[in-house]
A and B are shown apart, each in its own frame.
Chain A
Amino acid sequence: MESMSKAGIGRFLARQGILIAFAVFIIGFTLANGRFLSPENVMGVVRSSAILGVMALGVTFVVISGNLDLSVGSMMSFSTIVVLDLHDKIGPVLAIPAMFVMTLCLGAFIGFLVGYLKLNSLIVTLGMLSAIHGLTLTYSGGQNMDIADKEGTWFSVFGQGSALGIPVPILIFLLLAALLGIVLAKTPFGRKVYAVGGNGTAATFSGIKRARIVFLCYVMSSFCVAVAGLIQASRSLGSQNTVGQGLELDVLAAVILGGASLLGGSGTIFKTVIGVLILGFIQNGLLLVGLQFYVQFVVTWAIIILAVWLDIAAKRGKLLSTIA
């Protein structure tokens, strides 16, 4: 400890690399554009990250259980379109629960395939990404969905309202983060999620119903998607069929940036929140320094790859030291 060896420094860098890279980004952006750290901008970033953040909370469960969820983006489009459509047909009071039920059904279906039928989660959720997109288009007939009376509905409160001076989306994000953080860290279910992702066989030998845990993680994820869809619909009161397209990668990037391992068994809600903020600031910073919006895609990907690489590098170091 006193003298940190070369390997020690390597491992430190691997573990803290993201934070260091983040610090460099922040300093760079602030130098390039003084507005970057202004209160309005910071609030703006948090606010625009809320939808992504809510989805990342659910995906954190899935990733810790050792699986992937690439369907959240197109599922969010589905939720948004459905709730907007039903809003005018049956009124918001019924539309919201109806949309939640439908979205949860999608999550349950994925959970059934991955948990009980033990299908590969990458394949299943990738397939569901396009299947749900098709479902959404069928539902909407390809049309954009708009609420007729945009001024007169209280439905806008979830996306546009604010309480105690804080925008409602941020409140929802933070409350849900607190709630799910407690579920993951303090309940038997949370413990089982870690066990299933850490060593599925040992979890089974411990009497944990692995299939059920995986199933519940996907249901949890779809619940978060429904919340995100609600915020999105309420914010814009109208939407295209593709509103969530590509979000699955941002969500995954945020979760991994936070330090959850793609191999399962590690990560926390708190770290995911940090990951969401890091991603939000980086993307915002790129815009502020005048890079094109589309450059973000490239950057998001570069970040994912970097994060995964660091994760694997850290694991390798660890693996080497744990072979007894």
Chain B
Amino acid sequence: MSDQTPALRLEGIVKTFPGVRALDGVSLSVMPGEVHALMGENGAGKSTLMKVLGGIYQPQEGRIIVEEVPTVMTSPLQAKSKGIVFIHQELSLAEELTVAENIYLGELPRRSFGRVDWEKLYTQTDAILAKLKVGFNAKTIVGDLSIANQQMVEIARALTVDAKAVIFDEPTASLTDAEKVVLFDVISDLQRQGVGIIYISHRMEEIFKITDRISVLRDGSYRGTLETRNTTEEEVTQLMIGRALDLSRNESNHELGDVALEVRGLSCGHMFKDVSFDVRRGEVLGFYGLVGAGRTEIVETLFGLREPSGGKILLDGEEVRISSPADAISKGISLVPEDRKGQGLVLGMNCRDNMTLPQVGELSSGPFVAPGAETAIFDKYKEKLDIRTPGWKQTVGNLSGGNQQKIVIAKWLSMHPKVLIVDEPTRGIDVGSKSEIHNLIRDLAAQGYAVIVVSSEMPEVLHVSDRIVAMFSGRVMRTFTSEEVTEESLIQAISGITATEKVA
């Protein structure tokens, strides 16, 4: 490999934003046919480096060299024409347009007089979609697709050009296992064609499965490159966060309290049927299942976003009707939603105001908002969750993906709810902070909160939960205690393989 010319080299890249030195002289080289992992904590500068490469940001210093030719990337379209394809961390699709239009945006095939050649557009697109084995076609409107499928559309974009290097920025954050398999197939195809691949992810198991080398950034500077074959998770973590990770679960032996939330025979159309479970104070209840198993729909119903078609919800033993999120919040239920950009944050608002939004009324003194109290909350959680931002005034949209997620978590933690529901709490969060958030969830339980954790990551559910509800296709298949659960039994339960024992 070493005698080849690199597909791509970055030299001494410096990029600053007001108050932040995001990249401090970073160099990197990617060989053709190599899958090169880029790792680092939230806010380390990974996405920024890739945006420099993709022509979205202009660096203050440094050079980009594509196949030994120094190149200035002036715009995303120009970068694409040089063979650099960028699949973004946050989706950047036009929701009202079709899949085909999104994939070929800016370069639709033309007939005479500049008319769009729709037929060609659709056949080309369908050919690409076939390779990705997705369940939608060229004419589907992007807004109608699930987040995971929208991600697949982003990926399809990469396959339309003769790429020299493809950048994947946390592509698997919202993919199911099956979709991941397809993605990895696509990656190894590209690899065989000699394309250099830069792969950003916080998931160690993926990194070790598909990458050849791992480069690590920390606080905007380059920390080194490791051969994946010759390294370990511990070594990478050490390089990333400068210390070893404590992965032990803090088992405080606190007493479980009364049942805080009880759900009996809850149904909602065809989304989920006859769901029953309860959560006690001091307990973490995990919900595990495939995407589409109805977990998100259940928590949305508990949060007043959906009207149940049958069944009962009891809070502290009393039956309640939850008519809206405002109602849920006043009853002491909080939800960290799964889609931070769409549901969790007002991107144009600053960090502090986002964090205190649900309680801005309660915090007010007289008729006025109380900036002092709000800033105090912000400072407390910035410290507690290690949120990297120059200050509360920073617009949330300017934070790194993981730090945005932390703002959403802080927003709901700071409400001190009776029942805290978190849907995919650590999506896009680095290993260090992830274990901090897991510890935090355990701590909350120890303090007497009832916590529900919905997650698609088995290690996460196994790690944080006291009991686990396994769901399949809108039904509760089985509820495990943490003593009895095994990976195999859990996998069986969520694939609907176990004989459907009815849990009364």
- Interface on A for B, CB 8 Å cutoff? 1-3, 5, 7, 186-188, 190-192, 194-195, 198-199, 201-209, 265-266, 320-324
Contact = CB atoms under 8 A, between A and B. Distances in A.
A195 B56 contact: no
Given A188-B369, A322-B347, A206 B89 contact: no
A320 B54 CA distance: 11
Judged by DSSP, the binding face of B is mixed
B498 interface: no
Contacts of B329: 207
A198 B357 contact: no
B496 interface: no
A1 B360 contact: no
Interface string B301-327: 000010000000000000000001110
B135 interface: no
A5 B16 CA distance: 13
A38 B404 CA distance: 52
A174 to B, nearest CB: 21
B283 interface: no
B251 to A, nearest CB: 33
A266 B348 CA distance: 8
Nearest to A192: B360
Contacts of B344: 202, 205
B367 A187 contact: yes
Given A194-B346, A198-B347, A188 B364 contact: yes
B98 interface: no
18 contacts: A187-B369, A190-B369, A191-B360, A198-B348, A199-B345, A201-B342, A201-B343, A202-B343, A202-B344, A202-B346, A203-B346, A205-B305, A206-B411, A207-B328, A208-B357, A320-B56, A323-B88, A323-B89
A204 B325 CA distance: 7
Given A206-B357, A208-B326, A323 B342 contact: no
Contacts of B330: 207
A188 B361 contact: yes
Interface stretch (B33-41, B286-294, B393-401, B444-452): B393-401
Nearest to B415: A207
Which among B60, B324, B329, B346 has the greatest number of chain A C-beta atoms within 10 A? B346
Given A1-B16, A195-B357, A208-B357, A322 B345 contact: no
Contacts of B51: 321
A188 B345 CA distance: 17
A7 B56 CA distance: 10
Which among A186, A204, A205, A265 has the greatest number of chain B C-beta atoms within 10 A? A205
B414 interface: no
A203 B400 CA distance: 21
Chain B's interface size range is 35 or more
Contacts of A202: 342-346, 357
A187 B329 CA distance: 20
Judged by DSSP, the binding face of A is helix
Contacts of B89: 323-324
Contacts of B57: 321
Nearest to A185: B369
B337 A205 contact: yes
A202 B18 CA distance: 27
B299 to A, nearest CB: 12
* List of 3 A-B pairs having minimum Cβ-Cβ separation, nearest first: A198-B346, A207-B329, A207-B326
A323 B349 contact: no
B471 to A, nearest CB: 22
B397 A322 contact: yes
B353 A191 contact: yes
Interface in B334-361: 335, 337, 342-349, 353, 357-358, 360-361
Which among B47, B88, B337, B369 has the greatest number of chain A C-beta atoms within 10 A? B369
A206 B335 CA distance: 9
A205 B325 contact: yes
A162 to B, nearest CB: 31
B58 interface: yes
A52 B92 CA distance: 39
A203 B57 CA distance: 30
B369 A191 contact: yes
A33 B498 CA distance: 88
Contacts of A266: 348
B349 A194 contact: yes
Contacts of B347: 198-199, 322
A53 to B, nearest CB: 24
Contacts of B353: 191, 194
A174 B345 CA distance: 34
Contact of A186 (B305, B325, B369): B369
A241 B361 CA distance: 42
B398 A322 contact: yes
Contacts of B56: 320-321, 323
Contacts of B258: none
A217 B107 CA distance: 42
Contacts of A186: 368-369
A188 B362 CA distance: 9
A220 to B, nearest CB: 15
A19 B502 CA distance: 70
Contacts of A194: 346, 349, 353
Contact of A207 (B325, B348, B368, B369): B325
Contacts of A209: 324, 326
B169 interface: yes
A127 to B, nearest CB: 25
Given A198-B348, A205-B337, A205-B343, A324 B169 contact: yes
B360 A7 contact: no
Contacts of A187: 364, 367-369
Contact of B346 (A1, A188, A199): A199
B127 to A, nearest CB: 27
A205 B324 contact: no
Contacts of B144: none
